[in-house]
Amino acid sequence: MRVFRFTLLIIMALTGVACNTHAPMPAVDSVDLDRFMGDWYVIANIPTFLEKDAYNPVESYQRDADGTIATTFTFNDGSLDGEQKIYRPRGFVVENSNNAIWGMQFVWPIKADYRIVYLDDNYQQTIIGRTSRDYVWIMARTAQISDQDYGELVSQVRSLGYDTALLQRAVHKIPKRSVSLQAPSVENIEYSAITRGKSERVVVQKGRYSYFLNDKKMFQTMLTKTNLNVLATILAGLDVAAIEDLQAPSKRYQFDGAMVTSLAIKSEGKTHRSVTFDDDNPPEELKELVNYLLGMRF
């Protein structure tokens, strides 16, 4: 009976129980699913009952071979160090939506409305909305964003017809930054991932971002001031010299063909290299940086 009640609550929360007619909720024109995959930190939301007391909320997406989106939503319940809760719904891309509208399935066969209604060009910030305008999620690749960016995203939510007074700002555990890490002198960052028949490489040097596929330069751009500030914030929370001692969370590349990945950071004339790790599972301390580097592709 308890499981039934819980299931019913999920269905009611995510699909709605009324038959009201709502104004259309426009989604973005198109979404590159591969770029959209990975970790997204919830910055603010109008929460479902599951999220009302959520701390450190993170939504992670992985594209499966059948075209569906394996989704993992994690948070700590009640406090920054509370019990970790994990939910694993599955996303189904709606046909002819250019990947911008999904059905999110927590309980078979119900698929809740999930719309990517805002996405910046660099795939660093997004807003997920619903036609019913009951719930909304502001998310970013980093756990913190500037007050200016937050204000602009809230304005975007308001323009979609939401009551922004209902928004709940998410709280994340941010590593304390030591004085020595406030302004690391980083000269070069290189991310590389290799598997049989394919290689990817990202290089950031002198404010220029370059992406290589199979050793062919596919994309190059100068980072904007905003992008540089985001990168500086990420690096300020990273002990560059210590990346050599981090442990790989998994080593699937040893037996299932996952991409062998590593990160190298040159700082003050010395290059520090991480251990090799699976491309979709970097050490926790490197996740923000890896997500940032990959999110800038194309």
Protein fold of 2-169: Lipocalin (2.40.128)
Which of 51, 4, 50 lies closest to 168, judged by CA?
A: 51
More confident residue, 148 or 224: 148
CA angle 258–262–263, rounded 5-degree value: 145
What whole-number percentage of the chain has pLDDT above 90?
38
Q: How confident is the model at residue 108 (pLDDT cuts 50, 70, 90)?
A: low
Match 């990202």 to its residue by tokens.
Answer: 202
Under CATH, which number does the domain 179-295 receive? 3.30.1560.10
Q: How far apart are CA 31 and CA 33, in angstroms?
A: 6
pLDDT at 32: 93
pLDDT of residue 197: 80
**Using an 8 Å Cβ cutoff, are 200 and 193 in contact?**
yes
More confident residue, 22 or 154: 154
Parse the chain into domains and list their residue ranges: 2-169, 179-295
d(CA 106, CA 113): 11
Per-residue pLDDT of 187-216, as tens digits, reads: 899 999 888 788 899 999 888 899 998 888
Decide: 37 and 147 in contact? Cβ < 8 Å: no
Confidence of residue 51 (pLDDT cuts 50, 70, 90): confident
Residues 265-289, mean pLDDT to the nearest whole number = 88
Asked if residue 231 has pLDDT above 60, the reply is: yes
| pLDDT tens track for 120-155 | 998 999 999 999 999 999 999 988 888 899 999 999
* 231-247 burial: b if 16+ Cβ within 10 Å, else e: bebbbebbebeebeebe
pLDDT of residue 41: 94
Residue 255 has pLDDT above 80, yes or no: no
Higher pLDDT, 176 or 121: 121
pLDDT confidence tier of residue 3, bands split at 50, 70 and 90:
very low
Question: Across all residues in the chain, what is the average pLDDT?
Answer: 84
Residue 259 one-letter amino acid: M
Highest mean pLDDT among 13-17, 26-30, 84-88, 171-175: 26-30
Is the link from the previous residue into 109 a cis peptide, with omega within 30 of 0? Answer: yes
Residue range 23-38: mean pLDDT, rounded: 90
Structure tokens at 200: 């990817």
Q: pTM here?
A: 0.59
Contact assessment for residue 42 and residue 170, using Cβ atoms and an 8 Å cutoff? yes
